[in-house]
Amino acid sequence: MSGFFITFEGGEGSGKTTIAKMIKDQLTKEGYSVVLTREPGGVEIAEEIRNIIHDVKNTNMDKKTEALLYAASRRQHLIEKVIPALDKNCIVICDRFIDSSLVYQGIARGIGIDEVYQMNLFATENILPVRTIFFDIKPEDGLKRVYDNKDREVNRLDLETLDFHQKVYEGYLDICDKYSERIVKIDASQNIEGVFNQVIEKIKEII
Ligand code: TMP
C-alpha cells in the first residue's frame, strides 16, 4: 500500500464531514487523487450495517453487539474500498475509523478501550491511518450545531445524553495523548475557513 490513509475524528457536530468535502475538492483541484469515504458505511454492505446500528428503533441493542457491528462494517469497507484505493496511491480521507470505536464503545459505553482495540484487530489486521485529525469542540457546542442543522440525519447516538457525549469528548482527549504520534488536534470551534486552513496545513505536512 502506498497511498495516504487519513482519518477525521470528533464528536457530533464537530464539522468534520463538511470540512472533509472541502479538503477533497481542494486536493483534487491541486491534482491529487482523493477518495472521500465514511464509517460506518462507504460501501453497500457497510451502509446496510450502518442502517441497523443507527436505527432509532434499535434502542435495546447490546453494547458489544454494537461494537461488533461497527467492526464488521469497518472490515468490509477496508477490504472493498480503502485498501484498493491505497494500492492505487490515492489519498483516502475517511470520516471516522477505529478511534470512534475506542472512544464511543470502549470509553463512553464502558466496554474498555483495550478490549475494543483487541476486537478490532481481527477486523483491521492492524492497519492504522498515517494521520488522524481530531476536531476539538466542546460537546454542548457540537450538539447545538446538530440541532440547529435541520437537514442533518439524526441517529441513535445523537439521542444519547449530554453525559454520554461528555464521555466521548474526554475519551478523545485521552486517545490524543495515548496516540500522540498519529493524532493531531485542531480547534473546531472556529469558523469553517479557520478550521479548513488548520486541516489542510496538517495534511500538507504528510502528503
Ligand atoms: P456520523 O456519520 O454522523 O459521524 O455518525 C456516526 C455515529 O456513529 C456517531 O454517533 C459515532 C458513531 N460511531 C461509533 O459509535 N463507533 C464507531 O466505530 C463509528 C465508526 C461510529
The alpha carbon of 58 and the centre of ligand 1 are apart by a number of angstroms equal to: 15
Among the listed residues 9, 205, 44, 174, the one whose alpha carbon sits nearest the alpha carbon of residue 107:
174
Q: List the residue whose alpha carbon is closest to atom 15 of ligand 1.
A: 104
User: By alpha-carbon position, which residue is closest to atom 16 of ligand 1?
Assistant: 101
Per-residue pLDDT averaged across 128-136, rounded?
Answer: 98
Among 119, 157, 167, name the best residue to mutate to test ligand 1's pocket (greatest count of ligand atoms within 8 A of Cβ).
Answer: 157
- Maximum CA pair distance of the chain? 47
Label residue 158 left, alpha or beta by phi (over 0 means left) and psi (-120 to 50 means alpha). Answer: alpha
Determine the Cα–Cα distance for residues 27 and 186; give it in Å rounded to an integer. Answer: 19
If DSSP codes are grouped into helix, strand and coil, which group holds residue 92? Answer: strand
Ligand 1 contact, 124 CB (< 6 A) = no
- What average pLDDT score do residues 128-144 get? 96
Residue pointed to by grid coordinates 453497500: 44
Q: Is 7 in the pocket of ligand 1 (CB under 6 A)?
A: no
What per-residue confidence (pLDDT) applies to 149? Answer: 83
What does pTM read for this prediction?
Answer: 0.96
* Residue carrying the nine cell digits 491541486: 30
